[in-house]
Chains A and B, each alone.
Chain A
Amino acid sequence: MLSRNSFLALTMLALAGCANVPLRGTGDLGVVIERATGSVEVVETSGRSVLGHIAGLGDLSHASVNYSRDGRYAFVFGRDGGLTKVDLLGMRIVKRVMQSGNSIGGAISQDGKLVAVANYTPGGVKVFDSATLDLVADIPAIDAAGQPSKVVGLVDAPGNRFVWSLFNGGEIWVGDLKNPAHPALQKFTHIGKEPYDAMITADGRYYLAGLFGEDGLALLDLWHPEAGVKRVLNHYGKGEQKLPVFKMPHMEGWAATGNELLVPAVGRHEVLVIDQNTWQEVAHIPVHGQPVFVVARPDDRQVWVNFAFPDNDTVQVIDVPSRKIVKTLKPGKGVLHLEFTPRGESVWISARDENRLTVYDSETYAVQAVLPADNPSGIFFTHRANRTGL
């Protein structure tokens, strides 16, 4: 039994321990995928520093991240089908499940309780309890012709729904997970050939899938699903020879600026400007290479673009009102991703072959920091926790 004195000493020790680990929030934290080593680097954007590394996340050669709504936990989706829940404050893996053979990304539900993963092998969507990573729903992607399909473009939508596309089958499915034990599915067939990725507008209304096998995009208005999927921009570039595509564009970063969407043109050195009222192309902006990520600064005044191989050493800045390129930067070889700080004063850019992150002032383009990272790819800050579609 403890004497009163030793109890007091223990209490003091415990208090001293607490004093050494100051409380902190997570709003200025983020993770950077280190693709070759299967680790993530935890960073903070206030002092622009690296806080630590967490290893053991498997094959992260294609990886994406969603956050718990408290911004403390990152759900990391790896190429090898691994889903890993990482604690940014505890700097550790909380849980890891191998949920398929090959996956492409995921989404977290509106209520934060469900994490869904899009899989290639076997194709389908698996849904997990975000607290425990227990499987709560398994939805195979068998298309109308009875064939299995790879799933791409999985996003969350209001009403605890998820929306995804079938790459091989050319379908868009909406899954209502209000009752996770009995997902209610709505399927849209013949939406276009080879949807390769998709996005949802920030208000959660429009789901847009980019098509690889043909020109244009497939558009679903989630306020009016009864109207079906419409094809938009399907006359774009008709009869023109496309360039070979050395890296699939991503759509998560598609920039929505007021009434316009800026999207990468597949197989062209262009960014397309689409009027969101008419869904017509109103302009195309010539750029340095084939765009991969087209990301709006949070104030929508600028859009930053990176490019596919072999132009992946460059980032360009488009001034949205004038649709002119106002800056061309060379952050290094293998630029794979860029992420703005929550209010957009800085942008972080990863250069895989240089093993570094460069932080730029988004107004002056001055370099604010250069940080080490091992083969960095995706950069994901915690403000994504509270944004639909991220």
Chain B
Amino acid sequence: MWLALGSLFFSAGAACADPATPDTARRNELIRMVRNDCGSCHGMRLTGGLGLPLTPESLRGKPDSGLVASILYGRPGTPMPPWQAFLSEAEAAWIVENLKQGFPDVKPQ
């Protein structure tokens, strides 16, 4: 219980420092989601599949706002679905930022 409260305070503290940054637990969920669920079309290594590659090289020069919008609202006329039911705008922005830097790997359990 105390441990749970402690981590709650910790994440609240982290959130205060930068409201746009998901906390550690959520970040791990997002990493899993990108690697696995986005990965079902874009590849677990994000090198592309039925969907486009999402590597730093392939995203270079593309504006963040457009990429965030693609994640949240999908790309009409393509199979890319909207993910807004599962992601906040801040979380989509965090994903875009990390895709551009080279996306982190899922931590071994």
Q: A: which residues have CB within 8 A of B?
A: 35-36, 59, 61-62, 79-80, 101-102, 104, 120-121, 150, 152, 167, 194, 196, 212, 244-248, 309-310, 334, 352-353, 355
Contact = CB atoms under 8 A, between A and B. Distances in A.
Nearest to A79: B43
B82 interface: yes
Nearest to A103: B49
A248 B79 contact: yes
Q: Is the interface of B mostly helix, strand, loop or mixed?
A: loop
Given A248-B40, A248-B41, A59 B47 contact: yes
Given A244-B82, A355-B109, A61 B48 contact: no
A37 to B, nearest CB: 10
Classify chain B's interface size.
20 to 34
A334 B44 CA distance: 14
B43 A244 contact: no
B50 A150 contact: yes
B44 A102 contact: no
A80 B49 contact: no
Contact of A247 (B40, B74, B106, B109): B40
B44 A36 contact: yes
Nearest to A152: B50
11 contacts: A36-B106, A59-B45, A59-B47, A80-B47, A121-B48, A194-B79, A244-B74, A244-B81, A245-B81, A246-B81, A248-B41
Nearest to A120: B49
B102 to A, nearest CB: 16
Given A62-B49, A120-B49, A246 B37 contact: yes
Given A120-B49, A245-B81, 5 more contacts: A62-B40, A102-B49, A150-B50, A212-B79, A355-B109
A309 B49 CA distance: 18
A309 B83 CA distance: 11
B2 interface: no
Nearest to A310: B86
A-B pairs, 5 with minimum CB distance: A61-B44, A244-B81, A309-B37, A247-B40, A79-B43
Contacts of B41: 247-248
Contacts of B106: 36
Q: Which has the most chain A C-beta neighbours within 10 Å: B36, B39, B109? A: B36
A196 B50 contact: yes
Interface string B90-109: 00000000000000001001
B91 to A, nearest CB: 15
Nearest to A245: B81
A244 B73 CA distance: 10
Contacts of A152: 50
Contacts of B50: 104, 120, 150, 152, 167, 196, 248
A59 B43 CA distance: 9
A167 B48 CA distance: 15
Interface string B30-60: 0010001101110111011110000000000
Nearest to B82: A244
Nearest to A62: B49
A349 to B, nearest CB: 17
Contacts of B49: 62, 79, 102, 104, 120
B48 A102 contact: yes
Contacts of B48: 102, 120-121
B85 to A, nearest CB: 8
A102 B109 contact: no
Contacts of B79: 194, 196, 212, 245, 248
